[in-house]
Structure 1
Amino acid sequence: MRIGIIGTGGIARAHANAYKQLEHVEVVGAADVIPGKAAEFVQSLGLQDARAFDDHRELLALDLDGVSICTPNVTHYRTSIDALEAGKHVLVEKPLSVTLQEAVEMTETSARTGRMLTVGFQPRYDPNMHILKDIVQSGQLGNVYYVETGGGRRRGMPGGTFIRKELAGAGALADIGCYSLDLAMNALGYPKPVTVSAYASNHFGTNPLYHPEASKFEVEDFGVALVRFDNGIVLNFKISWAMHMDTLGATMFLGTDAGLKVTPAGKGPWSGVWDGGIGSMTLYHDIRGHHTESPIPLKEHNVNRFFEKVRDFVDAIREGRGAPIPASQIVRNQAVIDGILRSAELKREVQIELPANL
């Protein structure tokens, strides 16, 4: 299987190293808009036979089965469209896009070309995430009516391309907020969002006391929103790159028969968000009229979530099956982020308009 990589920054190295571990898979080319960067990438990773390009369209002219898109957020749209139109299957890093309209066009292009467009949410490959979804989907909670999710780092603000609006499009929402939304919405079966009322700020990123690139900080470092879905469920969402607090609380699913509380794994100022595994799960329910708390045993494992994401993409191409994490689903995740940004700017609730088929 012949693979190309578009964008050769840090995350691209993780993709390349995962591909290198797979049998009968070869990275045959890489592209980056910075002259010479792709050449340095293939050389440093020992990809002796891979070709390097400064234009991703030249890479797409090669005979490729699939591509990993590891570019800054704002270019996910164009590079994905170009790859799909060139007949390549696509694994695009999160977030899917910057705007909802871009996400819709990407999804429609995938359907029209018959090429897979899958999105890089590696936390889904944690075995305990499967347990969480199984519990929510089992009906054990009864009718789920309220969900609270998100996460907060006491200090965990990146820099560089992550904080420039022209490259990232958004800040904490696009970087780690999409993971929190995926955790909740995937467990719920990805209901359709209809309205969002939100607030966003960047008090920490723009303060030189807290960020060395404060003068260049252009995105949000905090966001909170109330999201309504077409099935009546309400989602209370919150995310933060930095704050004067240890946590923004656990993820909670409230149902008419039981409630589920879930905490993220990890410790330290960069933890507390859903870009990794699960720390604990507890079921709150009544037994014979008594309030009962039942810890859910977690599965101990050494699963490399990132590697599994790449392997699943390769296997899906080889087996001719659908996208492991389809853009047709994640477009609803992007719709929420788009709605939060619009609502925060307008300072009022906004409607989410999605095509009927999405």
Structure 2
Amino acid sequence: MGRMFRIGIIGSGGIAGEHARAYKNIEDVQIVGVADILPGRADQFIERWGLKDAVGFDDHRRLLELDLDGVSICTPNVAHYQTTVDALRAGKHVMLEKPMSVTLEEAAEMVRASKETGNMLNVGFQPRYDPNMGMIKDLVQSGQLGKVYYVETGGGRRRGMPGGTFIRQDIAGAGAMADIGCYSLDLALNTLGYPKPLTVSAYTSNYFGTNPKYHGESSKFDVEDFGVAIIRFEGDLVLNFKTSWAMHMDTLGATMFLGTDAGLKVTPAGTGPWSGVWDGRVGSISMFHDIQGHHTESSIPLVHHQLNVFEEKIKDFVRALREGTTAPIPGEQILRNQAILDGILRSSLTKREVEIQVD
């Protein structure tokens, strides 16, 4: 076996376990350290996951003193900024869980730190690794739709509100928009080549989360559980974006790309109250076009696969470490995703359209 790639994990909550599982399945990777702000929690994580070569810390800065090739950052959203910047400036490559940060200013500083240090900032959007997501992008980028002028995307759970750190603005920064909405945005924006956003007009509410009839932690709930926005981009393109943790409806509709020559309709896979969002698999893809003057709908066969897209995300990060290449999902790209989320929250607060300043 060649050299081992040494990995640290910052934050030892639920998502950190998925990172540990994925790393353990890669032959030339060794998890050598785990940090969590709660005393003893890192050691418990190490024992639970059988990480016999790892050391536990209650301060991530001590973890960063180790000889590490990369770190996975799995903290609550509010800690993404500081841990990422500290890791980059300590000479480590970063695999960061979504959403990128709490504020746009934080995201911009994280990207700046990556550029200044030359260390990778990779952001975790695992749905990209579904081959069907790649096929959607290829179809749109091929030009078969003509000029794409309107896109509609978003995920709607009939009832699927998390609790704990997800529902506190001081920790999460935002609710449904940041938790599941960022996936919908990445689906649309990655497919389009991440165009530059210009303005956003948005509305958000939290009628369900703050109602004890629907949520057991309603007294602590101070983020949005529903949101909708119209976003304008360079190139005369508009995006209708909507997302929901809870609503009295079965769906907020399919994702659609309308072009001058054809349209593409995409639905998510899954059933039940927690489904209907773009953190999972593709359910169907259809193209609407004219053939010899006839309105035609073509069902595009899905790629059936058994890939664990979360593991594929981690494998791609390790591949970039191994080969010395750039981040598979670079922070400077996701900065535009974060800018839109920031604009949505500003617009909903001021109840007017706002400009998006990015790049």
Do these two structures clear the TM 0.5 threshold for a shared fold by scoring above it?
yes
Cα deviation for residue 166 of structure 1 reads 1.0
Equivalent-residue separation in structure 2 for 1:303 and 1:133 (angstroms): 19
Q: Is 1:32–2:28 an aligned residue pair?
A: no
Residue 140 of structure 1 aligns with which residue? 144
Post-superposition Cα deviations, 1:301-322, rounded to whole Å, max 9, x if no partner, equal 0010000000100010110000
Q: 1:45 aligns with which of 35, 49, 63?
A: 49
Cα deviation for residue 75 of structure 1 reads 0.8
Q: For 1:343, what is the secondary structure of its paired residue?
A: helix
Q: 1:315 aligns with which of 314, 319, 323?
A: 319
Residue 242 of structure 2 aligns with which residue? 238
Query: 1:158-177 residue pairs with structure 2 within 5 A?
Result: 158-177=162-181
Residue 219 of structure 2 aligns with which residue? 215
Q: Is 1:14–2:18 an aligned residue pair?
A: yes
Q: 1:195 aligns with which of 196, 199, 211?
A: 199
Q: 2:109 aligns with which of 105, 110, 113?
A: 105
Q: 1:67 aligns with which of 49, 64, 71?
A: 71
Q: Is 1:121–2:125 an aligned residue pair?
A: yes
Q: For 2:231, what is the secondary structure of its paired residue?
A: strand
Count of aligned pairs: 355
Equivalent-residue separation in structure 1 for 2:355 and 2:103 (angstroms): 15
Q: For 1:292, what is the secondary structure of its paired residue?
A: strand
Q: For 1:234, what is the secondary structure of its paired residue?
A: strand
Residue 270 of structure 1 aligns with which residue? 274
Q: For 1:152, what is the secondary structure of its paired residue?
A: coil
Q: 1:343 aligns with which of 335, 344, 347?
A: 347
Q: Which amino acid aligns with 1:182?
A: D
Cα deviation for residue 171 of structure 1 reads 0.3
Equivalent-residue separation in structure 2 for 1:65 and 1:297 (angstroms): 40
Equivalent-residue separation in structure 2 for 1:269 and 1:24 (angstroms): 39
Q: Is 1:228–2:232 an aligned residue pair?
A: yes
Q: 2:95 aligns with which of 86, 91, 94?
A: 91
Query: 1:248-267 residue pairs with structure 2 within 5 A?
Result: 248-267=252-271
Moved over 2 A (4+): none
Q: Which amino acid aligns with 1:27?
A: I
Equivalent-residue separation in structure 1 for 2:80 and 2:237 (angstroms): 30
Equivalent-residue separation in structure 2 for 1:216 and 1:100 (angstroms): 24
Q: For 1:220, what is the secondary structure of its paired residue?
A: coil
Give the TM-score of the pair, scaled to structure 1.
0.99
Q: Which amino acid aligns with 1:161?
A: T
Cα deviation for residue 259 of structure 1 reads 0.2
Post-superposition Cα deviations, 1:59-78, rounded to whole Å, max 9, x if no partner, equal 00000000000000011010
Q: Which amino acid aligns with 1:31?
A: A
Equivalent-residue separation in structure 2 for 1:74 and 1:140 (angstroms): 42
Structure 1 unmatched ranges of 5 or more: none
Q: For 1:261, what is the secondary structure of its paired residue?
A: strand
Residue 293 of structure 1 aligns with which residue? 297
Q: For 1:342, what is the secondary structure of its paired residue?
A: helix
Q: 1:186 aligns with which of 190, 202, 206?
A: 190
Q: Is 1:149–2:146 an aligned residue pair?
A: no
Cα deviation for residue 49 of structure 1 reads 1.8
Give the TM-score of the pair, scaled to structure 2.
0.98
Q: Which amino acid aligns with 1:44?
A: R
Equivalent-residue separation in structure 2 for 1:53 and 1:166 (angstroms): 24
Equivalent-residue separation in structure 2 for 1:68 and 1:270 (angstroms): 26
Equivalent-residue separation in structure 2 for 1:70 and 1:215 (angstroms): 26
Q: For 1:97, what is the secondary structure of its paired residue?
A: coil
Q: Is 1:79–2:83 an aligned residue pair?
A: yes
Q: Which amino acid aligns with 2:323?
A: E
Q: Which amino acid aligns with 2:267?
A: T
Cα deviation for residue 206 of structure 1 reads 0.2
Cα deviation for residue 103 of structure 1 reads 0.8
Q: Which amino acid aligns with 2:219?
A: S
Q: For 2:154, what is the secondary structure of its paired residue?
A: strand
